[in-house]
Amino acid sequence: MSMPATANTDITSAIAEAQARFTAANPKSQAQLEKAAKVLPGGNTRTVLFYPPFPLTMTKAEGCQLWDLDGHQYVDFLGEYTAGLYGHSNPIIRAAIDNALDNGIVMGGQNLAEADLGAAIVDRFPAIERVRFTNSGTEANLMAVSAARAFTERPNVMVMEGGYHGGVFYFAPGGSPLNAPFPFVMGIYNDVETCRALIREQGTDLACVIVEPMQGGGGCIQATSEFLTMLREETESSGSLLIFDEVMTSRLAPGGLQGLTGIMPDLTSLGKYVGGGMSFGAFGGRADIIDRFDPRREGAWPHAGTFNNNVLTMNAGLTGMTKIYTADVAESFNARGDMLRQTLNGLADKHGAALQFTGRGSMMAVHFRRGEIRNVADAMEGRNELRPLLHMDLVSQGIYPAARGMFTLSLAHTEDSFAALEAAVEEFLVSRSSLLGA
């Protein structure tokens, strides 16, 4: 959908004005970026955290609140891109980490908590019979895809447009020159017939299909049951493996989206919150596949990683999974998220704005268009030039979302923090109404 030249000019001017106010309000964060840029390219070591004119430097976090270098306070709706499920200072998590620290950090051996965390994961996620740990979701997906290629003795990997599976699996429009050098085959998310034909065309060259049951970085776009069912049926027929990337989506139901949909992948990748807010990743699935990593067997696959079983993550993750984020809590928490998203969409309808929040449970993303959004191509049809304006306006009102328009909830959020977001979004809808029409 294109906009008249006048409207585009108005948006550009509005963004420039909002960024000028942001710059005037945050001189210390600007100076910090300039200092950091002397040693870090762009003053940054994590691309997703950069946004124009410069990112805020955070100095303190507590509960669902953040404070920046210039002394401003925010309600955190970025939530570490789903890793911050427990908020910033959960006392039960903190106690688990303190207890682990008391017994030493790096021990160079197996520890008690790793087996218990593994058992909690196997109990929680129905498609995981065995599991191994890594340090990030990127590593987890790298190992899962590599295991699928080794197990099937096939080369090709099918991914989806708009998918994100970590720093070397970036499939947004334009892709990335740094992607892992696998022979990728590109499918279209939620396009049942196109992807069915592509899997059949690949035949015995296809090792696996890796898919998010809801695309997170791609805009919180849910997969249809028909799409996931087709992927399960076609991969079984072709002898390839189905991998669910549930690094983000595993928080959306007690057993992840695999448990909610009843569609069982061969392999699953996990990360983010499962480590209790510490660095973490995991991959698991069918015993006959993951048991190939058993070092007691002849010809076992190697899998190294100094910090795979680090005691801080193992104890924080175990505590979070067993004492805090129980099945009942997962259900009620995500129900609250669904209600919040419905409220925000109701505000957009009330003000006649071409804007909607997609997602599920405790994850959502904003899109500047009406109508169904089934994939990244649909999302790109919206007025995405408005996204930085929304970001600047929300930050000015003490709301801290992801610059790309993603909002993630934490257990520390209260009804007051939800009300603050609702009020800030409504203020945006009212103040920018001339730019948000059909």
Cα(400)–Cα(129) distance, integer angstroms: 38
Write down the pLDDT at residue 7.
52
Cα(165)–Cα(177) distance, integer angstroms: 15
Write down the pLDDT at residue 5.
47
Residues 374-424 have pLDDT tens digits of 999 999 998 999 999 999 999 999 999 999 999 999 999 999 999 999 999
Residue 345 CB burial class (10 angstroms; 0-12, 13-18, ≥19)? middle
Among the listed residues 174, 155, 176, the one whose alpha carbon sits nearest the alpha carbon of residue 166: 176
Question: For the chain, which ranges sit under pLDDT 70?
Answer: 1-9, 438
* Complete domains list, the chain, with CATH: 5-85+327-435 (3.90.1150.10), 91-324 (3.40.640.10)
Cα(168)–Cα(47) distance, integer angstroms: 13
CB 268 within 8 A of CB 123: no
The three-state secondary structure class of 209 is strand
CB 133 within 8 A of CB 294: no
Cα(421)–Cα(59) distance, integer angstroms: 22
Residue 165 CB burial class (10 angstroms; 0-12, 13-18, ≥19)? buried
Cα(401)–Cα(392) distance, integer angstroms: 10
CA distances from 117 to 91, 113, 127, 326, 383 (A): 19, 6, 16, 14, 44
Token pair for 83: 């890793």
Cα(91)–Cα(197) distance, integer angstroms: 51
Write down the pLDDT at residue 437.
77
Cα(249)–Cα(112) distance, integer angstroms: 27
Angle at 294 between CA 292 and CA 297, to 5 degrees: 85
The three-state secondary structure class of 270 is strand
Cα(19)–Cα(13) distance, integer angstroms: 10
Cα(164)–Cα(161) distance, integer angstroms: 9
Write down the pLDDT at residue 311.
96
Token pair for 399: 């709301």
CB 273 within 8 A of CB 82: yes
φ/ψ of 139, rounded to 5, equals: -60, -40
